Amino acid sequence: MSVFEHSAFDDHEKVLFATDPATGLKAILAVHSTARGPAVGGCRMWTYPSSVEALTDVLRLSQGMSYKNIMADLPIGGGKSVIMRPQGEFDREALFEAFGRALESLNGQYISAEDVGVSPADMVAARRTTRHVVGLPDGTGDPSPITAKGVFLGIQACVERGLGKADMNGVRIAVQGATGHVGSYLCRHLAEAGADLFLADIKAEPLAELARELGATIVSDPDEIYDVDADVFAPCALGAVINPSTIGRLKVKIVAGAANNQLETRDMGQALMDRGILYAPDYVINAGGIINVMGELDSRFDAKWVEGKLLTLKQTLGEIIDAAASEGRPANLAADQLARERLADAAQARKKAA
């Protein structure tokens, strides 16, 4: 397995492979950039077929956090960690204590929160062996409402540009993952603003309840969400939903939602543009959660600061979309380039200050 030569290595500052045979821990902690401050990003626990897939996942996710954090102009860098889920029964608390020891060995260069497969209770276990965790139950709490607010504002910015409408009245929006943590809050914001909602989720009962509450239409087969005759598609469930088999089915003018890594590959951004579909780069529009987490790192980042940051997020998203349109290129590539430039500037500034 190559590491430095890996296509997603992208000059990571540090990659730590940590094992602890007593607890079954096999983890990779990736620090992509600390140019703006300690790297912050979640820890994911997943059943990976092998360490090759785990490495690819952590490197991509870690780079993505650098992009997300610098685009939100936060005083932190980007990192991520993955734990290869042990097979069979295992002592979860002991596993996360061992993960905490690995995290502690990075001396605060990387601060971890929860991601897929990891709960606030796991972070409490890790906290026994390291100071460098956030997302604790007595911390800033569930970031989803703030993520949803940011996505709502981002959709507004897209609707202004893609549909030439200053309000959301009558805008038809198809939400995938409607009953999820982010999806449900987003749907309520959208309904309150007068949008017509088409909702899909694999959880039938909560979906029926939400649709009743909001007077929304249910898309009975979740897979048919791609075919809905709507103005906006808001992916709030899985990654890679914009791919060669779904893209031709979309009838919308805008794709803007909370899910991470919505484009299966970067060239899907061009494919969306070719179809006249405006795309909101996911790591720009869904940064509300990480903005909220800042409150756990420093008390200066209070609720008022978070509110202001969400408005900046909307503005930044609008600027990226406008710049991409005037340059005739996809918004995801414009965002990637801007993120890379900002990271290079931050690295330069750190070098000068040293």
Q: How many helices (H) and strands (E) in the chain? A: 11, 11
113 binds ligand NAD (CB under 6 A): no
Least spacing, CB of residue 179 vs ligand NAD, in Å: 4
Among 140, 176, 246, 316, binds ligand NAD (CB under 6 A): 176
Nearer to ligand NAD, 54 or 182 (CB): 182
258 binds ligand NAD (CB under 6 A): yes
**Rounded-to-integer distance, Cα 117 and Cα 97, Å:** 16
Single out the segment in contact with ligand NAD by CB under 6 A; choices: 70-78, 98-106, 190-198, 199-207.
199-207
316 binds ligand NAD (CB under 6 A): no
Query: E strands within the chain?
Result: 14-20, 25-33, 39-46, 77-84, 110-114, 172-176, 196-200, 217-218, 232-235, 254-255, 278-279
Single out the segment in contact with ligand NAD by CB under 6 A; choices: 231-239, 245-253, 303-311, 320-328.
231-239
Nearer to ligand NAD, 97 or 114 (CB): 114
**Rounded-to-integer distance, Cα 322 and Cα 155, Å:** 14
Distance set, CA 152 to CA 100, 256, 288, 339 (Å): 35, 9, 10, 22
Single out the segment in contact with ligand NAD by CB under 6 A; choices: 27-35, 174-182, 226-234, 336-344.
174-182
Quick one: CA dihedral 102, 78, 305, 157, positive or negative? negative
Among 23, 69, 130, 147, binds ligand NAD (CB under 6 A): 147
144 binds ligand NAD (CB under 6 A): yes
Active site residue 165: no
Nearer to ligand NAD, 25 or 247 (CB): 247
- DSSP calls for 140-197: T---HHHHHHHHHHHHHHHHHHHT--SS-TT-EEEEETTTSHHHHHHHHHHHHTT-EE
Distance set, CA 228 to CA 160, 224, 253, 296 (Å): 21, 7, 12, 40
Nearer to ligand NAD, 24 or 289 (CB): 289
Least spacing, CB of residue 338 vs ligand NAD, in Å: 19
Among 172, 203, 251, 350, binds ligand NAD (CB under 6 A): 203
Length of the chain: 354
CB-based burial label for 240 (10 Å; 0-12, 13-18, 19+) = middle
Single out the segment in contact with ligand NAD by CB under 6 A; choices: 48-56, 98-106, 121-129, 139-147.
139-147
Of 14, 26, 68, 80, catalytic:
80
**Rounded-to-integer distance, Cα 41 and Cα 337, Å:** 21
173 touches 232 (CB < 8 A): yes
Nearer to ligand NAD, 130 or 144 (CB): 144
Residues carrying an active site annotation: 80
Which residues here bind ligand NAD, judged by CB under 6 A?
Answer: 143-144, 147, 176-177, 179-183, 200-203, 222, 236-239, 258-260, 286, 289
